[in-house]
Structure 1
Amino acid sequence: MKDLSLLFKISAILWVFWGIVHIMAGVFTINFVLSDDISGAISGIADAVDPANVQRDYPDAAGAIISQHGFNLLWIGLVTLISAFYIWKKNKNAIFLAAITGGLADLGYFLFLDLGGFVNFMPGTLMTIVSSAAITLSFYAYFKGRKATS
C-alpha cells in the first residue's frame, strides 16, 4: 500500500507542474490580446507556425475567442492545481476531476494542434505527456488500492 501512496504523490506533483504551466499560458494568452497582439497570442499557442503567417488585422471577435481560450487555460490550470493537493491525500473525486478537466483539455490539444502539426514538442506536447502520466499513475494507484481493500 505504501508504493501506491508514492504514485498518488508523483501524480499530484505532475498536476501541480501542469496546472502552473497552464495558468501561466492562460495569463500570457489573455495579456497578448489585451495588448492588442492577437498574432502574438496565436504564435504563442501554435509555436511551430511561422509568425509571419499569422500577422494580420484580426476582428475584435477573434481576440474575444482567443481570450476565451486563455481563460479556459487559466481555470483548467487552477482546477488541476487545487485537485493536486487532494490527489496527494488520495481523494477519489480530485483524481477524477483533474483527469476530466486536464485530460480532456490535453486531448483537444493533441487532436487539433499536435496532430495538425502546429506545435513544437516543448512545452505543449510535453504537457500532454505529463497529464497522461498523472492520470495513469493516479488511476492505477486508485484502482489497485481499491482492489486490495475489497
Structure 2
Amino acid sequence: MKRLPILFKISALLWVIWGLVHLLAGGMTMKGVLTNDISASIRGIADAVNPESLTMDYPEAAGAVIGQHGFNLLWIGLLTFISAFFIWKGNKQAIFLAAICGGFADLGYFLFLDLGGFVNFVPGTIMTLISSAAILLSFYGHFKRQTS
C-alpha cells in the first residue's frame, strides 16, 4: 500500500511529458495553417511519407480541418498537463479525465497513423506508449487503493 503513491507520481510525470509534447505539436500544426503553409503541418504529422508527395496547394477547407486538429492537440495537451498535478496526489477524477482525453486521442493516432504506416516510431508512437503507461499505472494504483 505504501508503494501506491509512486505509481501516481510516475503517471503524473508521464502525463506532464505527454501534455507538453502535445501542446508543442498543436502549436506547430496551427502555425503551419495560420501561415498558409498547410503542407508544413501535414509533413510534420505524416513524417514517414515522402515530403515531396505532401507538398501541394491544399484547399482552404483542408487547412481548416488540419487547424482544428492542431487546436485539439493543444487543448488535450493542456488538459492532460493540468490533470497531471492532480494525478500526482491520486485524484480519481483527474486520472479518468486524462485517460479519456489523452488515451482516446492516442488511440486515434495509433489506429489511423501508426497502423496506416504514415509515421515513424519517434516521437508519436513513443507518446502512445507514454500515455498507455500513464493510464495503466494510475488505474492500477487507483483500483489497488480501492480494494485495500
TM-score relative to the length of structure 1: 0.98
User: Shift of the alpha carbon at 1:36?
Assistant: 1.0
C-alpha distance in structure 2 between counterparts of 1:47 and 1:54, whole Å: 10
Q: Aligned letter for 1:103?
A: G
Q: Aligned letter for 1:147?
A: T
Aligned to 2:142: 142
C-alpha distance in structure 2 between counterparts of 1:5 and 1:136, whole Å: 14
Q: CA RMSD in A?
A: 0.5
Identity of aligned residues (%): 70
Gap regions ≥5 residues in structure 1: none
Aligned to 1:4: 4
- Local SS of the residue matching 1:2: coil
Aligned to 2:55: 55
C-alpha distance in structure 1 between counterparts of 2:113 and 2:28, whole Å: 18
C-alpha distance in structure 1 between counterparts of 2:55 and 2:98, whole Å: 35
Aligned to 2:105: 105
Deviation string, structure 1 residues 60-92 (Cα, Å, up to 9, x no partner):
111110000000000000000010000001100
Aligned to 2:45: 45
Aligned to 1:76: 76
TM-score relative to the length of structure 2: 0.99
User: Shift of the alpha carbon at 1:35?
Assistant: 1.4
Gap regions ≥5 residues in structure 2: none
Aligned length: 148
